[in-house]
Structure 1
């Protein structure tokens, strides 16, 4: 598969090279030059396969001969063996696609584990030391840290906004040590992300430490996320498959980009819904045709507290390639949700005997507003409720039972730096051996 830079189309690379580089020149994102496409009869066959075979079939269509087939299947199986998606029925025509049954209880496990296995495969061939730098607004960091933990010749450096991720998120992220280094930044996620982009723009630094990214800007993470949309479709009753709409809680927009790619390559999803919290740059852009990012607002759906989503460039390119109208609500709908309504939906879901968390609540709120008669709605559950224990217990006035797998993290010591959002400080830390 050939990929090119969205900032400079003359920069073309293979899949493995795109994974290695992470980010293009001029801070551009890689995107497939030509997407594969599955015909209806091929889709039918894929949907009958188990999750591993289904995922292998999809990813092989992108990767091709760059990785031997048997090796790719092993990579897929190892990546997804602990991250099986589930669908939970909420109402007659609404269900939640639960993507939080992996090692760090978040949908980020899918992309992070696949990326780690691809890089580990490449590193066994290249045999060089690399540093993976990533910013997290909540769950990405823990997923990346756990996916790469103890991998030889791979150092992980993760930035997160101080005081703006949950206690459990921080505990899962910052207590590993070994090859994992975490940095608490006195600022917003957007400032963390800016530091990462600046690092990638520093030619000396990138060359000196073989810098790579663990964010959804890395194409391997994005492609992995396509797979669970196919799995979700196969889990839905056949009579509902022709009328599926999917509401995605959006922060950096990687999740919905993967969904739209799934639709582009043949999965017959009717349409997608962009669901944001008060950080509503994209909904306002689609409504007013003006790109006007504002200062990031802290919310209880903290992983979505992003005002400049990286993956929006990919979505625009996807619509351009497909000759879809980005303002056509038959392809894409959108809305934002206030804190008040996020909490209101948490209570509503609880009355329906479902304990959700704030991000899924945002997606559910917009889905309820946009769904039409005879449509079947899915909203994405991107994290286990326990990761937002304090918020949920305060809103719902209940006690949430802590899963045994998480109890061990609560007692552990935190290993983390604390810095101001200054690149010179980050650069010094990155250069440390």
Structure 2
């Protein structure tokens, strides 16, 4: 698999190096040179496969012969060793694709655990890696648990202090061992900027074997393609073949990028809806053509509190390469007040949700036509937002064991201002 740097097309790497490097020169993201397409006959066969076998087939289209199918299958089986996506009916033509049945109760488990298996598999020389990543909520826990206890890998996670839920924080800031966490007095965008500055420091990058586990890493992104095929296989047959609409809650836009890559492969999804909260840089851009990120606003859908989404450059590149019209991408933003109203509406339909999925449901409901079937992505378990959900819905949320077992453990995080010199000092010392 060959990939090129979106900021420097002269830099091309194979899949192995893209996984190990994370970012290219000038903080550029890697993107596939070849965009494979599955023909209709092969697509029908793939859709009838079980989740692990199908995922192996899908990813082999991108990875080619760099990893044997047998080795890839075994890595995927280890990575996805938890409950697969579940479709829960909400109305006659709307369902929720629940992606939060993994060990950290979020969709990020798919990408993080696949990346961990890839690094383990590709690290033939037992090199030492430092995984540096930023999280706005769920990435941190997924990455931490995926790499926890792994030899020759140290994980350092940056997150905005006071701007993720208490239970999100407990899931990854209580582990210790090879997992180090740093709360930043700022926004997620400040955390993401620090990660990029670290990658720009060539000496530091070499000294500590720097890599990233954000959705900027191609392995995480590719893994997420797999559950879109699962989503398609789960919907009623009469709505398949260009009648499926998928509504995606968007923060860093990796999830949407993966969905669009699934469509590029040949999965006949009619259209996507890109959903944001008040941090609406992309909806405003799609409306007026002006890229104008504002200061990040804290909302109850905190994982989407991102004003400068990294993966948007990949979305634009894909539309350009496929000659799709980006103005045909559906979009919208939802305020906290409307999110709260939607959470209550979903409860009347018998479904307890959380803020990110509620945003996707609201925009899906508003845009869906009568002959279409809509899925909105459930990206995190409501229990991760227990305090918020209980206050809004006046319902008690039962904690799953993975949260219950960590709730009383002490936080092990450092705390710093968004200062790269201080971060560098910590990276070299711990």
CA contact (8 A) 1:343 1:358 kept: yes
Match of 2:406, SS state, is helix
Match of 1:411, SS state, is coil
1:178 aligns with 2:207: no
The aligned counterpart of 2:13 is 13
What's the CA shift string for 1:125-146, capped at 9, x where partnerless? 0211110000000000000000
Query: Which region of structure 1 is more displaced relative to structure 2, 104-113 or 237-246?
Result: 237-246
The aligned counterpart of 1:430 is 427
- Segments of structure 2 that go 5 or more residues without pairing to the other structure are none
- Segments of structure 1 that go 5 or more residues without pairing to the other structure are none
After superposition, residues 344-359 of structure 1 pair within 5 angstroms as 344-359=341-356
Query: Which region of structure 1 is more displaced relative to structure 2, 99-108 or 406-415?
Result: 406-415
Deviation at 1:405, TM superposition (A): 2.9
1:267 aligns with 2:249: no
Q: Partners of 1:60 and 1:76 in 2: how far apart?
A: 11
The aligned counterpart of 1:33 is 33
The aligned counterpart of 2:290 is 290
The aligned counterpart of 2:104 is 104
After superposition, residues 158-307 of structure 1 pair within 5 angstroms as 158-242=157-241, 243-307=243-307
- RMSD after superposition: 0.7
Match of 1:291, SS state, is coil
The aligned counterpart of 1:71 is 71
The aligned counterpart of 1:113 is 113
What's the CA shift string for 1:143-189, capped at 9, x where partnerless? 00000000001000000000000011000010110000000000000
Match of 1:10, SS state, is strand
Q: Partners of 1:315 and 1:140 in 2: how far apart?
A: 20
Q: Partners of 2:348 and 2:405 in 1: how far apart?
A: 31
Deviation at 1:203, TM superposition (A): 0.7
What's the CA shift string for 1:252-272, capped at 9, x where partnerless? 000000000000010000000
Question: What TM-score, normalized by structure 1, do the two folds share?
Answer: 0.98
Q: Partners of 2:194 and 2:117 in 1: how far apart?
A: 26
CA contact (8 A) 2:104 2:402 kept: no
1:91 aligns with 2:88: no
The aligned counterpart of 2:154 is 155
Which runs of at least 4 in structure 1 moved beyond 2 Å after TM superposition?
none
The aligned counterpart of 2:311 is 311
Deviation at 1:83, TM superposition (A): 4.3
CA contact (8 A) 1:83 1:103 kept: no
- Pick from 383, 403, 407: which aligns with 1:406? 403
Q: Partners of 1:67 and 1:208 in 2: how far apart?
A: 28
